[in-house]
Structure 1
């Protein structure tokens, strides 16, 4: 069996379990035609049914279908011995001279009162087209058949789908109604409870402050994550900062004045001209040249 088909069968059977109460071991009603086809295709029917349903099965056969196996031509003794191992589902038709058809017999077993419900939770395995067509009108009947040596299960019929939807809606309504007990009385308002508590607390002297509800509204940004504004300073602040900067000498000016004082403190050496020059000039300490 392919993986995709196995997943679909598992999901389908889970819906039958939730909505119609199916459980292991699954009661599988087989008819004589599907037994004959399984024998011809050399299929182990019980093993295939367990694989499809994903659990243990309890194969069952009616008295009418057993009589059909005995009356079949040619008579298959191997198939009759195999069918005898299954549980016999008494259909109360054994007193009749001729067995009923598979459709009439299985319909009386699955839906005896014609209520269109599968009360005993049978899984019907049949290769009779008329049987499967009738069982689709009964809610909650999984149908299994054989085609081309492959055992398949039909999807959920419309009647089963409709009943499943009705049950889900009823459960939903019951859940909504069951949230509050009918004897609980009318619900008190929170404001009335708080006022009663404050009055009782004022009388005893140990009233607790009632919590005020915070008004809902747009929240501001986180101040730690907001970037500081880079706007220019106003005119008065700019002038005050400029005056403060002018009053304090800059580091560059201080270094220049310090260098000038250091150079002026140095003594300059006099330069002596050679002798015999009448127009010699005297060099003063400050470096200026004067006439004799």
Structure 2
């Protein structure tokens, strides 16, 4: 058997077990047609049936089906040997009394199996039979009975039919009923707990000690005299208000970095440069006088040289050239 088909059959039998109560050993009803085809394909019927249902089986055959095997006509030795093989396999199964043995002629497989599976015509498989039959009419009729697994042989392959629509409807109804029962039980449990809590609250007054009773009585007297008085046994209510931020998720404040002396000097110089850029006259002065000194203040530039006055003609003495004075003291002022 292929792995995929085997897995499908296992799940299907589990569904039959949950919805209809099937359990091992499974009671498998076989008819004459399954026995003959299994012998023709040289199949071990018991092992194949157990493999399909994935569990132990209890093979059974009705009295009418075994009579069908005895009534097979034979004309030669080969047919007689085959008939003996069929009967030998049927004898290994348990005989299921259908109540038709008193009749002169056995009933058909359809009538016999239907009377065994659903004797009262209620469309229920009360005894939980698994039916293995080769007749199509039997399978079509038993699909209308809820909870009947059907097995047949197709080209030397034993097949378990999918669950019929009737069985699926019953299974779905059972599942819904279980869900409703679970919800009802849960609601009952919840209401029961509430009742027990209320009863416990009512019984608190009975179980209080004498000391507590005295305090409660005293508080009642104080409340009767002065309703605004604060009672010792009265619990203070917590004032509800907006909650603060989560300290773990709040943003932490960054520590203020202290500036060093060198950093302060640099900042001052930057401020001076910014002021010089804004003031064009200050920029021209800065170009002439130079950049600020080390102390941060602008340094004084070089003083202008005074231009010497030329000597007049009446001063006496001729000038031999610019900057040369004759006829007088060179060190004297002009």
TM (norm. structure 1) is 0.69
1:60-99 pair list within 5 angstroms? 60-74=60-74, 75=80, 76-99=83-106
2:17 matched to 1:8? no
Shift of 1:81: 1.3
1:272-287 pair list within 5 angstroms? none
Q: Judge conservation of contact 1:198–1:208 (CA < 8 Å) in 2.
A: no
1:83-162 pair list within 5 angstroms? 83-162=90-169
1:190-229 pair list within 5 angstroms? 197=204, 203=213, 222-228=246-252
1:49-72 CA-to-partner distances (Å, cap 9, x unmatched) read: 111111111100001001110111
1:89-137 CA-to-partner distances (Å, cap 9, x unmatched) read: 0100001111100000000000000010000000000010000001100
CA distance in 2, matches of 1:145, 1:8: 16
Structure 1 equivalent of residue 53 of structure 2: 53
SS at match of 2:168: helix
Structure 2 stretches lacking a partner, 5+ long: 75-79, 217-231, 265-334
Q: Judge conservation of contact 1:25–1:55 (CA < 8 Å) in 2.
A: yes
Q: Residues 212 and 58 of structure 1: is their aligned pair in 2 closer, same or farther, counting only changes over 3 Å?
A: farther
Q: Residues 215 and 62 of structure 1: is their aligned pair in 2 closer, same or farther, counting only changes over 3 Å?
A: farther
CA distance in 2, matches of 1:192, 1:213: 27
Q: Which has the larger radius of gyration?
A: 2
CA distance in 2, matches of 1:214, 1:90: 83
1:238-281 CA-to-partner distances (Å, cap 9, x unmatched) read: xxx9xxx8xxx93799xxxxxxxxxxxxxxxxxxxxxxxxxxxx
2:166 matched to 1:166? no
2:261 matched to 1:250? yes
Q: Judge conservation of contact 1:194–1:210 (CA < 8 Å) in 2.
A: no
1:204-261 CA-to-partner distances (Å, cap 9, x unmatched) read: 65999989899899x8764234333569x9xxxxxxx9xxx8xxx93799xxxxxxxx
Over aligned residue pairs, what C-alpha RMSD do you find? 3.9
